[in-house]
């Protein structure tokens, strides 16, 4: 990872970036279930899933979110700090063997209501599968230092 100083003024609405892909494995699902305690049959029981609409196990939404966000963490910007996510939606199921990549787009810049030396940059995160379907969407909010 390289250090990249980007101030609030350096971000442009409409700016995008796309990550490399990552294939979801059974090991990902099993490890995530162990870490979170979420052993619901939707993720762990192939026989039960065969009787349901999707006919196969689905990845945890929180796993897809974690991987999608992790793929975007390529640069360290000492002038910005994540303050959270808004409007998180699990749009479509993700299955073992699906390959995901993340696309981000700067959608908004605004003043911080209490910190005049900083602004808020909103980055839309879209996690997309191998067929081009969006499977997850969220808005990532950054607190970003102003240059002047």
Q: Which two tokens stand for residue 94?
A: 């993700």
Looking at the structure of the chain, the number of domains it has is: 1
Name the pTM for this structure: 0.93
Q: How confident is the model at residue 4, as a pLDDT?
A: 81
The range of the structural domain enclosing residue 80 comes to: 2-145
Residue 1: pLDDT above 60?
no
> In this structure, what CATH number is given to the domain that contains residue 56?
3.10.129.10
Closest CA to 58 of 87, 34, 35, 29: 29
Tell me the pLDDT tens digit for each residue of 90-135. 999 999 999 999 999 999 999 999 999 999 999 999 999 999 999 9
How far apart, in whole angstroms, are the C-alpha atoms of residue 53 and residue 66? 25
HEC sequence for 58-118: ECCHHHHHHHHHHHHCCEECCCEEEEEEEEEEECCCCECCCEEEEEEEEEEEEECCCCCCE
> Which has more confidence, 115 or 75?
115
């Amino acid at each position: 990872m390289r250090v990249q100083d980007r101030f609030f003024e350096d971000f442009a609405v409409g700016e995008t970036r796309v990550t490399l892909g990552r294939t979801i494995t059974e090991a990902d699902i099993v490890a995530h279930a162990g870490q979170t305690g979420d052993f619901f049959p939707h993720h762990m029981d192939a026989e039960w899933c065969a009787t349901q609409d999707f006919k196969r196990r689905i990845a945890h939404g929180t796993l897809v979110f974690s991987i999608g966000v992790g793929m975007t963490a390529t640069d360290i910007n000492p002038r910005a700090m994540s303050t959270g996510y808004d409007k998180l939606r699990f749009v479509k199921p993700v299955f073992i063997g699906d390959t995901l990549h993340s696309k981000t787009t700067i959608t908004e810049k605004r003043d911080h209501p209490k910190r005049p030396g900083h602004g808020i940059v909103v980055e839309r995160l879209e996690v997309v599968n191998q067929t081009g379907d969006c499977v997850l969407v969220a808005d990532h909010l950054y607190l970003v230092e102003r240059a002047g």
